[in-house]
């Protein structure tokens, strides 16, 4: 019989922290490796969504990825009477690092919004800089004016995010607009989703992508998603320097961020910026990307750096 392929579920364990229940994925280091990677995902995410990339990264080190409150099925900050602000996410991540790594060095990889959380954490807890062996931004951002949206679209998203963070509208949106049939009929036609579904090579792949999208929309808390989007659209992480260099990876076809502005702002924050570009047509790999497809997000320059860990 052929050997069963490992899945994300083989490495996921419960995570109970700060009064919230969620999950954590942990893959032990391969033989001969002692380094550790902490992966912080972005919005519209889950551990399963990033399984291909996490599996690829495991060849370099042990890999750990925690759920963030309100994402991936984890309980939201609202359960403990707090709001899902960037500062609260930063505090949560700092608590996780102190609990998980203590005085050990760790490679931190932040994906998109996840990198904004990592940056704010290091600004609020500069003592944790000593814990960071290597810092990596995967299509991360530092300031809101790095978005490429028109002024009109920017204002529309900012207003919509503010409204959707309110409980009555969030409940209506979740059950009237994000139910399975409505999502399947409309989501692939929306402005930001069109570029995602263009990469589907067949009707079967399109359906697999849609299934994954429905699961993600149902696993992510609407109010948390909206509030974090509003934080991104008003973001300014350039006000405090961080005594670390950063690896920044952008993509050829990023539909969200202006590459030049991102680098310019990062140079104001970090001690040095090392850059590499991934050959991807979108902001991120496909939502159903396997290990081979997700590996494109780690270009050769960064692979060499990780291999030296």
In percent, how much of the chain has pLDDT > 70? 99
In the chain, residues under CATH classification 3.40.50.1820 are 8-148+237-307
289: CB partners within 8 A, 6+ apart: 52, 53
C-alpha 147/C-alpha 134 separation (Å) is 26
- Across the chain, the runs of DSSP E, i.e. the strands, are 12-17, 20-27, 36-40, 62-66, 106-111, 132-138, 242-251, 270-278
pLDDT, one tens digit per residue, over 65-96 is 999 999 998 999 999 999 999 999 999 999 99
pLDDT higher than threshold 60 for residue 1: no
Fold of the CATH domain 8-148+237-307: Rossmann fold (3.40.50)
Q: What is the pLDDT of residue 52?
A: 96
Using one digit for the tens of pLDDT, what is the confidence trace for 10-69?
A: 999 999 999 999 999 999 999 989 999 999 999 999 999 999 999 999 999 999 999 999
Sort 279 into a burial class: Cβ within 10 Å, 0-12 / 13-18 / 19+: exposed
**Nearest Cα residue to 109 out of 269, 297, 301:** 297
As given in the structure block, the two tokens for residue 118 are 């990592």
**pTM of this prediction?**
0.95
What is the C-alpha to C-alpha distance for residues 198 and 187, in angstroms, rounded to an integer? 13
Neighbours of 200 (CB within 10 A): 17
Average pLDDT, the chain: 94
pLDDT band with cut points at 50, 70 and 90 for residue 224 = very high
Cα–Cα distance, 259 to 261 (Å, whole number): 6
Quote the tokens at residue 251.
């993509």
Residues 6+ apart with CB under 8 A from 221: 70, 71, 76, 78, 84
């Amino acid at each position: 019989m052929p050997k069963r392929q490992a899945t994300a579920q083989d490495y996921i364990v419960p995570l109970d922290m700060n009064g919230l229940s969620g999950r954590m994925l942990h893959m032990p280091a391969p033989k001969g490796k002692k380094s550790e990677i902490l992966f912080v995902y972005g919005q519209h995410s889950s551990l399963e969504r990033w399984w291909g990339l996490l599996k690829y990264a495991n060849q370099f080190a042990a890999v750990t990825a925690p759920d963030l409150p309100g994402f991936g099925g984890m309980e939201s900050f609202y359960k403990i009477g707090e709001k899902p602000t960037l500062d609260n996410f930063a505090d949560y991540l700092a608590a996780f690092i102190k609990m998980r790594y203590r005085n050990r060095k760790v490679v931190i990889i932040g994906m998109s919004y996840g990198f904004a959380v990592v940056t704010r954490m290091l600004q609020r807890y500069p003592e944790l800089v000593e814990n960071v062996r290597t810092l990596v931004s995967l299509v991360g951002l530092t300031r809101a004016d790095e978005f490429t949206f028109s002024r009109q679209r920017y204002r529309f998203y900012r207003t919509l995010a503010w409204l959707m963070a309110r409980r009555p509208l969030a409940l209506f949106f979740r059950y009237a607009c994000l139910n399975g049939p409505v999502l399947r009929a409309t989501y692939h036609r929306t402005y930001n989703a069109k570029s995602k579904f263009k990469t589907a090579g067949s009707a079967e792949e399109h359906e697999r992508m849609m299934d994954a999208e429905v699961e993600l929309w149902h696993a992510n808390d609407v109010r948390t998603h909206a509030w974090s989007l509003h934080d991104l659209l008003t973001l300014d992480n350039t006000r405090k320097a961080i005594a670390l260099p950063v690896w920044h990876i952008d993509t050829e076809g990023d539909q969200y961020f202006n590459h030049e502005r991102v680098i310019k702002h990062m140079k104001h924050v970090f001690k040095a910026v090392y850059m590499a570009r991934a050959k991807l047509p979108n902001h991120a790999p496909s939502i159903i990307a396997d290990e081979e497809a997700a590996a494109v997000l780690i270009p050769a320059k960064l692979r060499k750096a990780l291999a030296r860990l």
